Structure 1
Amino acid sequence: MKVLVLGGTGVISSQISQQLLDAGHEVTIFNRGSKSLPQAERYEWLVGSKSEPEAFRTLMSGRSFDVVIDMISFTEQDARLTVDTFRGSAVQLIFCSTGAAYKRPFRTTPVREDDELLFDDPGFPYAYEKAQMELYLNGLSQEDGPAVTIIRPSLTYGIGAANLGVLRQNYNIVHRIRNGLPLVMFGDGKLPWSFTFAPDLAKAFVGAVGNERTYGQAYHATSEENRIWDDLYLEFGRILGIEPNIVHLPTELLMKVDPGMFAHLHYEKSYAGLFDNSKAKRDIPNFQVTISLNEGLRMMLNWYESEGHTVDADKMRLEDRLAAIHADWSRTMGSFGAQ
């Protein structure tokens, strides 16, 4: 099939692009031209930006695709541009949404797609705008334009990712464990969570391509390994052979320190993140999540070290300050017990 990937070179979409090639599809990638991929000659490349709607429409004019996978729509307006541009020139549109688009608290645990409501609090714009995008897509007539499939990743890591850790401190995690420095965890670290890696998630997108069972449907696709948040740091420690020093701070306190950085913890990750993949397994052939947290973190560590990653000094200072707050707090609380 002829497949266009809008994005195509990001953490998730690069894996989608590669797996599409492996499955024998003819793949075109649209991006800003700042990133490429291995075996770049096997793709057709279109350079541009969706932030320039008229130029985007002009570039796509006269082209047709069996499937368009949109990894770069974050709002209803973004999705409208994709739908309007490919109405009449694509059979199926696959949109990347997010597990954050589910309203919290969940109605079901593990979460089942069709039993949940969508996020409705503008206080967390990322989740709210993705939910508004989905509401628009859900309102489209399947008879009037391409069929729509929605896939909702939960927190996903992979080569190129910059979202690993509570502070999204990435390589700093490795550095801090190796040097005996404390790592900040939100809450008590005991909430269950699904840590998913991009090569597994990509299987859901590729398996939905041209798959009529997925038309008009939404799916999440996540790890099913039974893990808690502390395991993110504990597993890194096992790989490195060093027990990490984890300190726990209330989410409310972290929000006061930096609402922009920690809003995702407050709105999304303060609830158990366990997802039922039954629907995806039913409709998407060969969808199976196989990468464990240990295997995935080894992949990340190899990438950090092969690419020569260095510490983020600003986040080092912030985590040091937060750890000092925890130490002061612990001393203060301890003094009450001594009285």
Structure 2
Amino acid sequence: MRKDPVRLKLEELLDANARFDLAARGTTNHCPMALVALAEMGASAERLQAFFDRWEREYALSASPVETLIARGEWSRHLGNAAAFGALRLLFLDWITEVGSAPVIVAVLNEVPFAPASEAFHALIRLTYGIEAAHSGEIASGLAALVSSHLPVDVQFDERRAAESVEAAFEHVVDAMGGSAVEGSSITSRLRVVASDVRFRQAVLAPPVSACLLDDVAQATIAAYWRSRNFTILHTVTASHAARILFAQLPEAMAARLLPGLWVALCAAYVTVGRRASGEGDVPDLAVSWSDVQRLAVASNDDHVIKLAYTCLCEYRRQPSAVYLAAAARVVGLDLGRR
């Protein structure tokens, strides 16, 4: 059976992305994530190629040659070793080729502490976009990023009271940290400051008791982004969706074990922003459609616009809520005129 031309182009460009470094000029390598989101929102093969070419010209850095291979039994020794990304990627790709992606994902997440804040949540997002694209190289890259950029935010929940809601938990830790935004040159640097602060570790509440905590988290993060338009909060929206994709690939008990790690990382991200003035709370009844949003998102060259619009579309399809359409419409630049 012939493959769709868009799928063939996506596979070609994701393969070609292997020549790029994990980092990029002034950012991380968002190219593969944006390509997957573009393809899922209806981009043509030509549009994918154009986005890739522009990224290569303006942002991409060449990957360093891998001079020393890592043995399969030794990969966990490179936890937090940024220089090991390339060698880890090759190791995980070889392993996936041999046994398939699911066993490797489970093995890696069983071996090292789950750290979704790694690389400002991009390692998690890249892994899950690789899962969506069924692309072994991108799954290997996501796992390698989680290991080499490992940023743990350790909190133990023994005998801690549960938060009444996700929003209340976020506000509680912000209050405990004094309400001011955390200083730092990047999301990652600010997350590291919070992770090392004893006030944060003491203040984090256990997740609220809920049969659908991931849904509650997703709704809280998009509501916070709608009010704030904050760049860090944007990453909590895309990370929450990414966690949904990842957890669906895992045994139920394992996903439940990893969920607190996501909870703590999101609390830490929220704390970095500090107490913000209340922004726009009401969600307008829009005279726009998802087809309008997708058309503008596909035309965008902003990788964060593309990923947020795609995340909102996926979450809306799962659980329709006006705030997803409103946030996506706003980020692609649509006039939010009321009906």
Q: Same fold (TM over 0.5)?
A: no
Q: Radius of gyration: which is bigger?
A: 1
- TM score, norm. by length of structure 1: 0.27
User: Which one has a larger percent helix, Structure 1 or Structure 2?
Assistant: 2
User: Which one has a larger percent strand, Structure 1 or Structure 2?
Assistant: 1
